[in-house]
Amino acid sequence: MTIEKEKLYFGVISGAQEVMANKTYLNKINVFPVADGDTGSNLFSTMQSIVTNSEIKSTIKHTLESIADSALTGARGNSGLIFAQYFCGLSEAVGDDDLTAKDFVLASSNGFRYAYDAVDKPVEGTILTTMQVFHESLEDYMKRSNNFISALEAAYEMVVKAVERTTKQLRVLKKASVVDSGAKGFAYFIKGFILGLKGKKQIFIPVEKIPEIKYVHEENFNYRYCTETLIGDCKKIKKEELKCFGDSLIVSGNGKKMRIHIHTDEPVNFFEYLSVKGIILEQKVDDMFLQYERVHKRKYSRVIVTDSIADIPKGYLDDEQVHMIPLTLLIGRVSYFDKLTISNEHVFKLAKQKNVHPYSSQPTIKMVENAYDYLLNYYDEIIVLTVAKALSGTYQVFEKIAKKYDQVHVIDTKQNSVAQGLLLYETMMDLKSNTSTKDMLSKLDNRIKRSKILVQIKSLDPMIASGRLSTKLGGLLKFLGIKPIITLNETGEGAVYKLAFNNKQSYNEILKHIRTIHINKNITCYAISYIDDIELAQKFSGSIELLVGFKPVYITKSSSIIAVGAGSGAVGIGYITERK
């Protein structure tokens, strides 16, 4: 039997659709390596990319290369990258002519070997095991029969049994009484692949009952962030040079592009290293700790969402399970996720190296829609606090998608940076005290009117480069030695609070303002953010404490997007008063 490129292509598409149809089931049984409930979603992304982007090409090799490239582009998670590498192995092992059954057996061997080689520390009882069982069973049956379809079906039965054995092979699966989700995903693929080769059209609906998992192991996270990237124009990157950043490392690629998966605590350092290895085409960072907490230790029936412009310590967000959606920062040809894959110091370094000014952009519609869909699986309501809509299109994106959901409330804080973070903090405290949604939104609206931010800047250059100041006016102010204190007006637009001729004067003017406001309106809380000068932030903290009689709620490093606009050395003070 020979396999024409059309038949192979439709077999793969059929297999991909079978996996996609069972996304929810695969998510539910996902307890290894991390019980974060996303294996189905990750495989769905991988398979959807194959269905959407791959094509029948002039030869079977080019067709498989199209499938492999599409899988690599859409690959997500451990299982997704392993699947992508499996297809890379298949494509590498075939020629231009139609496949014989023997050719396919050899290609499947190459596929699972490629997949094994991509993983830093392969674990038995996972998708890798089922890939190997599929090849060995297929090879064994083909020695005894010339009927390729029958051999495939027999090999599939062995894969199903191998999937069932995973429950006993991994302790965590045994305690949860489930099979490995990645292994199960491969079994779904082979099932659909065989039906596609037979030319059978299917209605792709899930047929298995979603299990109720009573046991979930206590997660001990070696690393917090599931981090992935797609790199183009790169030299081959070896696993050995990336091991220092974390574990669960998978390096997949086809010579043109590479996709890398790793669990790490420092995505910023990981992407800083990769930034000199090639062009970073895509980035993904999932917080496995919060995913696990939401699935297994949810605190509230409602969840607060914010964007990364809100400057507030990460620990505060963790405590109340707040979901942060990052804005992106474009530096040259590469986009980075604010607060996740770029640091303030690296922003300045890259901008200088590339001689470019970084530009920010709001989250994509798809990113926000995915976040809403994901969170509404676990929460009854979503309360969103965004950066001032006068400063960014972020509010409009959140609001546009929210119209599809009755449970989502989107609020324009009319603030940014540390003032936005302070409003977020107070709303978190309302959530913690079980304040009703109606009262929470009413309190927030009132606080917004009583909030303010003042920013001391050390250089006008960032404001000139970003267009906030014209070159002519900025040049004149620089010539005169004037350094404005920046604020936001009542509608959230950028404004100049006061002009100062040096840093000492601007420092004193801010303290003077704080003293006057506290006397007249009573400052109830304040917080401080800094770009890269923590000593100046602490100096402000000490001086303001003497004026108001209490410490700041927090001092924190700012968003990299704020850093681009305010520049090195800038410090922001946000506060809320008792009276308007």
Contact predicate 29/174, CB 8 Å: no
3-state DSSP assignment of residue 524:
strand
Question: Between 2.30.40.10, 3.30.1180.10, 1.10.3720.10, 3.20.20.70, what CATH number should domain 451-577 receive?
Answer: 3.30.1180.10
Which fold would CATH assign to domain 298-326+364-449?
A: Rossmann fold (3.40.50)
Strands 225-232 and 279-287: antiparallel
Strands 523-530 and 571-577: antiparallel
Q: Digits of tens for pLDDT over the chain (580 positions)?
A: 688 889 999 999 999 999 999 988 888 887 766 665 678 888 998 999 999 999 999 999 999 999 999 999 888 888 899 999 999 999 999 888 878 888 999 999 999 999 999 898 888 888 999 999 999 999 999 888 888 899 999 999 999 999 999 888 877 777 777 888 999 999 999 999 999 998 876 655 555 555 554 445 455 568 899 999 988 877 778 888 899 999 889 888 866 788 899 999 999 999 999 888 888 888 889 898 888 888 778 999 999 999 999 999 999 999 999 999 999 999 988 889 999 999 999 999 988 888 888 988 999 898 899 899 889 988 999 999 999 999 999 999 999 999 999 999 999 999 999 999 999 999 999 999 999 999 999 999 999 999 999 999 987 777 776 666 667 766 777 777 788 898 999 999 888 888 888 889 999 999 999 999 999 999 999 999 999 999 999 999 999 999 999 999 999 999 999 999 889 999 999 999 999 8
Return the domain boundaries, the chain. 2-197, 298-326+364-449, 451-577
3-state DSSP assignment of residue 155:
helix
DSSP assignment of 9-34? HHHHHHHHHHHHHTHHHHHHT--SS-
Architecture of domain 2-197: Alpha Horseshoe (1.25)
Q: How many CA atoms lie within 13 A of 341 on its CB side?
A: 25
Q: How many CB atoms lie within 10 A of CB 541?
A: 19
Q: Which two tokens stand for residue 499?
A: 């002009």
The residue count of the chain comes to 580
Q: Which two tokens stand for residue 49?
A: 């990319």
Distances (CA, A) of 20 to 46, 206, 267: 9, 9, 29
Distances (CA, A) of 179 to 46, 58, 160, 533, 565: 21, 40, 10, 51, 50
Contact predicate 282/229, CB 8 Å: yes
330's enclosing H/E stretch is: strand 328-331
Contact predicate 385/310, CB 8 Å: yes
